[in-house]
């Protein structure tokens, strides 16, 4: 298996752009004298401050009909603000492709899909097409108007399971903020090497490996990362775990489990060769996804069963223990 080039996902990469129309407001009394970017975030809270700063630098904000690009500019009483969120469609550079999607749920606000093994989520180095993003653009062409075609989180190429996609800019911003606030619940089944004695938590920062730059590692300078795990089944020389993420770092479960001496079966990046050879991909499946619906405000959740290859792996290890 060939691991695609790492794409370190930062939360601000996923903050949605708003609908394409000019917005107008007057500086409200409560924020007079504040920095312009702070005022914009107060006036239009549906958009992230990071996105508004980008628009400022791009010249898409006017104050009293004059372009204002300095985020530190102070505001005055009665100044008229204009925001032009029109921008070229962010994903028109990627071609829609008629690739089958396993759609678990779809409405006018969001889309939940079950990703198969072998599918890359977003085009990148060495993977120009054939991705989930290309499939989404074919299934729902309007997603071309949303950054990353509405994708707000991702799974590794050979990890299976649930992903949520925003169908509107407002929903994308909402889902990104839920990810930041950790109100999105993501649960995985992982089959790891060795006998895990008890449930536990790995609380260890993750960043680029200091030597192998295409890998991640537990490093003191990394970003905070926290993974809860619970024993689901004891197998021959292996354990089936349920893992719950508090954070969503690149390769988080794979790195954390390897760091405590229990790498995933089939993981040819983080497991020793004998462990990697026991399965033809990392044994990881995102089986449950829960969040607050951006439109209704209701708690919603979806589940998908284990794929056949993982079922067969667990059954074979259970039968021979």
Catalytically active residues, by annotation? 156
> What is the distance between the alpha carbons of residues 33 and 245, in angstroms, rounded to a whole number?
41
Kind of pairing between the strands at 284-292 and 160-166: parallel
Q: Would you call 211 exposed, middle or buried from its count of C-beta atoms within 10 A (0-12, 13-18, 19+)?
A: exposed
Contact 222, 207 (CB under 8 A): yes
Contact 316, 308 (CB under 8 A): no
Which distant-in-sequence residues (6+ apart) come within 8 Å of 223 by Cβ?
Answer: 205, 206, 207, 247, 249
What b/e readout covers 239-264, taking b as 16+ CB neighbours within 10 angstroms? bbbbbbbebbbbbbbbbbbbbbebbb
Contact 83, 23 (CB under 8 A): yes
Structure-token pair, residue 53: 């700063």
**Does residue 254 come out as left (phi exceeding 0), alpha (psi in the -120 to 50 range) or beta?**
alpha
Q: Three-state SS for 202?
A: strand
Contact 130, 99 (CB under 8 A): yes
Ranges assigned E (strand) in the chain? 23-26, 61-63, 66-67, 80-83, 102-106, 110-115, 160-166, 185-193, 200-203, 206-208, 216-218, 226-235, 238-245, 284-292, 299-303
17 backbone dihedrals φ, ψ, rounded to 5°:
-90, 150
Cα–chain-centroid distance for residue 138? 21
Angle value at C-alpha 264, between 275 and 281, nearest 5 degrees: 80
């Amino acid at each position: 298996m060939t691991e695609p080039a790492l794409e370190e996902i930062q939360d601000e990469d996923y903050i949605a752009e708003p609908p394409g129309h000019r917005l107008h407001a007057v500086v409200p009394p409560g924020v007079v004298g504040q920095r312009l970017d702070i005022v914009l975030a107060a006036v239009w809270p549906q958009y992230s401050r990071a996105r508004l700063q980008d628009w400022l630098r791009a010249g898409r904000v006017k104050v009293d009909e004059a372009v204002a690009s300095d985020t530190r500019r102070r505001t005055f009483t009665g100044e008229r603000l204009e925001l032009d969120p029109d921008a070229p469609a962010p994903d028109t550079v990627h071609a829609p492709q008629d690739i089958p999607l396993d759609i678990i749920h779809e409405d006018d606000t969001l889309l939940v899909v079950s990703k198969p093994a072998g599918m890359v989520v977003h085009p990148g180095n060495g993977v120009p097409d054939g991705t989930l993003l290309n499939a989404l653009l074919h299934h729902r062409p309007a997603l071309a108007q949303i950054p990353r075609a509405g994708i707000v989180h991702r799974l590794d190429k050979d990890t299976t399971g649930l992903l949520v996609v925003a169908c509107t800019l407002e929903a994308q911003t909402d889902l990104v903020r839920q990810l930041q606030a950790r109100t999105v619940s993501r649960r995985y089944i992982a089959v790891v090497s060795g006998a895990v004695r008890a449930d536990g938590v790995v609380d260890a920062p993750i960043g680029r490996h200091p030597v192998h730059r295409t890998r991640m590692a537990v490093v003191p300078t990394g970003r905070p990362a926290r993974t809860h795990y619970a024993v689901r089944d004891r197998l021959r020389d292996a354990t089936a775990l349920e893992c719950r993420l508090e954070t969503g770092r690149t390769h988080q479960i794979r790195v954390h489990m390897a760091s405590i001496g229990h790498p995933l079966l089939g993981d040819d990046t983080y497991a020793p060769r004998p462990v990697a050879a026991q399965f033809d991909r990392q044994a990881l499946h995102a089986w449950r996804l829960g969040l607050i619906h951006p439109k209704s405000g209701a708690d919603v959740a979806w589940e998908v069963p284990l794929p056949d290859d993982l079922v067969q792996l667990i059954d074979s290890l259970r039968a021979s223990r």
